């Protein structure tokens, strides 16, 4: 059975409360519950992690080396400036799909650039919570 690590970055623990007009009304727990059902149907073991701390996210990426087959990641705001997370993804060389609930390219200028995008196999954004499901399907197809 293939193993995938789902990583959610800063403020994603506040989904359902934080700017529902942008991020929707589903909680992170609800998204994970739905994603777990999809993972089961795809015969994927899904491990889930969320942190507001860059170093903890890097530690999880490092720990995935040799133990996971791929990473599904919503880096949150770290998307736009965390070269440390980018370098961790590059170091472990695991297939990774970057997902975003909102269309980052239609938002504020600073959100248009992803420093992590060059080291992932693809980016899915703008489909709400469904971005996660599309991302998991894409990752599994690639693996």
Q: What is the tens place of the pLDDT at every residue in 45-60?
A: 999 999 999 999 999 9
| Best mean pLDDT range from 5-19, 20-34, 119-133 | 119-133
The CATH code for residues 2-142 is: 3.40.50.9100
| Whether pLDDT at 94 is above 80 | yes
Taking the C-alpha atoms of 87, 55, 113 and 133 in order, what is their torsion angle to the nearest 10 degrees? 100
Q: How confident is the model at residue 109 (pLDDT cuts 50, 70, 90)?
A: confident
- The full set of domain ranges for the chain reads 2-142
Q: Which of 23, 81, 105, 142 is catalytic?
A: 23
Can you tell me the distance from the alpha carbon of 97 to that of 107, in angstroms, rounded to the nearest whole number? 20
142 catalytic? Reply is: no
Can you tell me the distance from the alpha carbon of 47 to that of 85, in angstroms, rounded to the nearest whole number? 18
81 catalytic? Reply is: no
Query: Tell me, what's the pLDDT at 22?
Result: 65
Q: Which of 100, 113, 132, 142 is catalytic?
A: 100
Query: Tell me, what's the pLDDT at 20?
Result: 66
Q: For 54-78, what is the mean pLDDT? A: 96
């Amino acid at each position: 059975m293939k193993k995938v690590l789902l990583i959610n970055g800063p403020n994603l623990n506040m989904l359902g409360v934080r700017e529902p007009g942008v991020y929707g009304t589903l909680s992170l727990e609800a998204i994970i519950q739905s994603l777990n059902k999809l993972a089961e149907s795809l015969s994927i073991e899904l491990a889930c992690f969320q942190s507001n701390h860059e170093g903890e996210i890097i530690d999880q990426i490092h720990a995935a080396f040799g133990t996971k087959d791929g990473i599904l990641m919503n880096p949150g705001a770290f998307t736009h400036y965390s070269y440390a997370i980018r370098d961790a993804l590059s170091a472990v060389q695991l297939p990774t799909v970057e997902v975003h609930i909102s269309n980052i390219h239609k938002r504020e200028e600073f959100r248009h650039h992803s420093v992590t995008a060059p080291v992932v196999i693809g980016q899915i954004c703008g489909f709400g919570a469904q971005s996660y499901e599309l991302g998991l399907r894409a990752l599994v197809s690639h693996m």
